[in-house]
Amino acid sequence: MKNLIICLLTGAFVTAQSPALAQFKEGEKFISGSFYLNLFDNKVKDIDSQYRRYNHTIGVSMGKFKSNTMATGWGLSHSLAFQKLENFNIDPKPLQTLGFGIERFWEFYKPLNDKFALYVRPDAGLSYTLKNSFDVIDDRIARETQDNSFLLGFDISAGIAWRLAPKWVMYGSFAFSNPIYISYGFGKITHTVNPRPDGQYPQTNTRGFAYNFAPQLSSGSIGLGFRYFY
Amino acid sequence: MKKLFLLLLPGMVFLAGSAEAQLQKGTKYWGGTISFNGTLNHNQDKFDKDNVSKTRRPIISPEAQLGWFVSDKTMLGVGLRYSIQQEKTIYEPSGHKSSTLSQSLQLLPFVRQYYGLGNRWALFIHGELAPNYSWWKSKSEDVTTITTKRDLWQYGLAVKPGVVYTFPNKKWSVEAYTNFLSLSFNYMPIPEDNGRQFTVDSGFGTGFPSYFSLRIARYLQPKN
């Protein structure tokens, strides 16, 4: 994948010696999206064990060019994961993760020729995630943890856009950064072994705040995608 | 920032280009960066509301560098890297407190070889020696106070490439180190048990670099 990006970049850079022409026009609108679904089912009759898992993620992004070299837009995302696990002392909560996110993005383009343009894309996003997890000690679920977190972050990515058809543009992004974020979370940790004398299980309510500033870029996730223009 | 990214991308990939001297002997240099992060946590027992623990964990890591060009392409310099982390937990209602203060200091003499890529871009190979002194202080305050201290030396040698972009006003630059084609050695004697630890890290490959560490820099040209 990385080499593909480099090949694309090579083509873009070499052809950049010709006079630059704008690929995009003010007023053009675009949309891109993703939908991933995963199902898993495992059953072992001899030991009465069953493990089922379902998860999906959905993302939609829409934007509009404000000038030939600048676009803005909004992105929405959603994720959901369920599981059913039956071979421990308790059945853990079926809901694993539930997430919603919204982002506002700005894209700045530098045309290289009539097909290729480099772009940089800062965005600011707000997300909410509910996560249930558990700890296994000596083959028993000893603790269940529930965490609700809100994250406000600033990201930046960059890459190259290739207008391969009037209605379609291919995007390759290869520099990501998450330099600034703050997050607030609350939840609970419930013990599921060693109950109290009154029969109830110990429980701790948690809340926390985190912040981060790191002037670092990571290209750990290099991606290719398409956008439809209308 | 926008122009930096737009120009950084092809610049990192294409090394060919007409070399144009933007640096010269006598140029002074300084650079710096900072990163910080932290967490604040509050835990409370559901059945005993007075049973509360509060934890605070900030980390700050500043770094500064000074250098002088001894030729048009070679710079000698020294850097100072400091890191401080404090973790403090208070348990109520007992009043028990535990804290750990971790600090490290590195003095980094370095040499850089530059390869110009025009007026605004240059690549460099950065080699540095990295003696590192770390010290920790842990304190547990209850009925009695117990304090433990520990310190450690380790010695490193690192070679890593980087790229520098100078903004059009020629006053400010941004540098990025990368793990692409990097090599580092670290030796750490462990006095407590007469042991030692030796680490080699390398990042050789033909893929795109996966990591860049950014810093702000200034190149002060000598007055003619």
Summarize pLDDT for B133-188 with one digit per residue, the tens: 999 999 998 888 899 998 888 898 999 999 999 888 878 999 988 877 778 888 88
Region A47-75: mean pLDDT is 90
Say whether pLDDT at B1 is over 60.
no
d(CA B74, CA B127): 11
State the pLDDT at residue A88.
80
Whether A110 contacts chain B with CB within 8 A: yes
How distant is the alpha carbon of residue A87 from its chain centre?
Answer: 31
State the pLDDT at residue B171.
82
CB nearest A208 (choices: B6, B35, B39): B39
Q: What share of chain B is helix, strand, coil (3-state, %, to 5)?
A: 5, 70, 25
In three-state secondary structure terms, A2 is helix
Region A53-78: mean pLDDT is 94
In contact, A127 and A148? CB cutoff 8 Å: no
- At B6, which amino acid appears? L
Asked if A218 lies within 8 A of B43 by C-beta distance, the reply is no
Say whether pLDDT at A203 is over 60.
yes
Which two tokens mark B97? Answer: 């407190």
Region A137-148: mean pLDDT is 90
- At A182, which amino acid appears? I
- What are residue B54's DSSP bridge partners? B42, B90
Residues of A within 8 A of B40 (CB-CB) are 208-210
ipTM, two decimals: 0.71
The residue among B18, B132, B157, B5 whose CA lies nearest residue A117 is B5
Selected residue of B3, B208, B215 to mutate for chain A interface (largest A Cβ count, 10 A) = B208
Asked if A210 lies within 8 A of B39 by C-beta distance, the reply is yes
Contacts of residue B213, Cβ cutoff 8 Å, sequence gap at least 6: A215, A216, B33, B176, B177, B178
Region A92-113: mean pLDDT is 93
Q: Alpha helices, DSSP H only, in chain A?
A: 2-15
